[in-house]
Amino acid sequence: MAPSPTFQRTIGLSTAISLVVATVIGSGIFMRPAEMAGLLGSPALIFAVWIIAGLFTMVSAMVLAEVAAMLPETGGPYAFMRHMYGDFWSYLYGWAAFAVINCAGSAGIAFITAQYLEYFFELPRFSPAIEQSVAFHIPLVGDIFPLDDFGVKILTVIILCMLTWISYRSTKTSGVLMNIFSSAKVVAIVLLVGGLFVSGKGSFSNFLESSELIKPVGFALVTAMVAACNGALQAFDGCNNMLYLTGEIKNPGKNIPKSLFIGLSICIVVYLLVNAAMIYVLPVDKMAGSSLVASDAAMIAFGVVGGGLIAFLIAFSVLGTTFSNVFTPPRMTFAMAQDGQFFKMAGKIHPRFKTPGNALLVHLGLMIVMVLSGSFFILADMYIFIVWTFNLMLMIGVFILRRKMQDRERPYRVWGYPWMPMMVILFNAFYLIITLTDDIQKYIDGKTRLMNSVFGIVVTAAGIPLYYYFRRKYKKDNLA
């Protein structure tokens, strides 16, 4: 019997580090600091949240790296779930990746581009009475108001349509544009951090001054910290993309943990510097009331023109993050369709453009629905909750595979097994429980109109009937 084909290990440490940094640093850093200031009211706590979330992401990725190095298969977690739990959970992860993690997440990120473009022109919106006049009630989840902030939503839809059209027609052009967008991200961060500190328009005393109005204590502080961590985890999301390539990394036993540690350490430092630069110019109370925190800080430091330049660079760089999320995820949906776990039309390659055209259009349709259903914070919070729900299952799966595949070669073994994975699992479970209970309590108290985490659960569960439909249809097709 001929040996099974294997990946060539051509990716070195420096490339792996670059991949971690490039996929992590994205959109959240330009929106989340204001939300954290409003939750915590303390610069010290804001910095603590970024460090905690970064370290949690780092050790979680190291746990999952053991599985990725052992099972270097196409599909990443989609394939891992099959080995751990079987076809049903593998499918459900794929469905959640399609509906929540990718479509809702991509729609949420696209919102940031539209919102930062409002720096240059005011987008139209309906009166509060008209916005509230159309509502869709989802039992046990909350209310959706599609006309809320309608101008931003329409611009977001236009952006998603434009990026999908480019991805539909040319893979090569898409790659070139993503490189350009990535360069804008670097320029935006360097100008923002360097410019704010050099401007002299701020004060280092802002780092020591907490808000007089925002002082959570006791359990309220715990829930505020968890909610702030939710935002930070969204900003750190993406490092798992490197795990898809572990079968191609040289000396994975050393380079996987090194690249995760160094890459995420760089991301933590960058995020701390961006937050420090903003707090230097904007005291916590002013940061908490800002809708475009990076541009507001830049406007104070550089004036209207400087604030506009930063707003443009942020919008342009986030456009790149959005483009990456529009371009890449339909490939998993395409693979699911070819496996008989999605509608077959999504598994066809466009005869002329050689792209997964139908899968791209399916994603666009759901992204438009998601845009109309929420805002950046609703969509980002629901998708990060589902991401970490499945991450919890994947980390528990490390123990399952240690038992099921005892003799399988493991190029990398997680450090501190079983205690470190157990600690990560417990912290992950604590985060999910607090997030879920806090969402429900805020809805009961009338503080929110939608339970974001519950919304994510419902959208994920909506794929369960389709699993049995696809399984029955796939069997019939095979028998035909």
Q: What is the DSSP letter of 239?
A: G
Residues of the chain by 3-state class (helix, strand, coil), percent to 5:
75, 0, 25
- Is residue 228 within 8 Å of 40, Cβ to Cβ? yes
Give the model's pLDDT for residue 368.
94
Whether residue 348 is contained in a domain is answered as yes
H-type alpha helices, 205-251 = 219-236
Give domain status of residue 81, yes or no: yes
Residue at 346 is within a domain: yes
Per-position DSSP letters for 50-88, written without gaps between them: HHHHHHHHHHHHHHHHHHHHH---TTTHHHHHHHHH-HH
Quick check: helix, strand or coil at residue 329?
A: coil
Question: Is residue 243 included in any domain, yes or no?
Answer: no
Residue 397 belongs to a domain: yes
CB 98 within 8 A of CB 336: yes
Q: How many CA atoms lie within 13 A of 126 on its CB side?
A: 15
CA–CA gap between residue 361 and residue 413 (Å, rounded): 40
pLDDT string in tens for the chain (480-residue length): 444 445 567 778 887 887 788 778 877 788 889 999 999 999 999 999 999 999 999 888 888 888 887 886 656 788 889 999 998 999 999 899 889 988 888 888 888 888 888 888 888 999 999 999 999 988 888 999 999 999 999 999 999 999 899 888 876 776 677 667 767 777 888 888 898 998 888 899 999 999 888 889 888 999 999 999 988 998 888 777 666 666 667 877 778 788 888 989 999 999 999 999 999 999 999 999 888 888 888 888 888 888 888 888 888 878 877 887 788 778 778 878 887 888 889 888 888 888 888 999 999 999 999 999 888 888 888 989 999 999 999 999 999 999 999 888 888 888 888 999 999 999 999 999 999 999 999 999 998 999 999 999 999 999 999 999 988 877 655 544
CB atoms within 10 A of CB 351: 7
Distance CA 221, CA 208 (A): 19
Residue 230 in any domain: the answer is no
In a domain, 51, yes or no: no
Domain that holds residue 468: 74-219+291-479
How far is residue 309's CA from residue 237's CA, in Å, rounded to a whole number? 27
Kindly state whether residue 464 falls inside one of the protein's structural domains: yes
Which CATH number characterizes residue 436's domain? 1.20.1740.10
Q: In the chain, how many domains are there?
A: 1
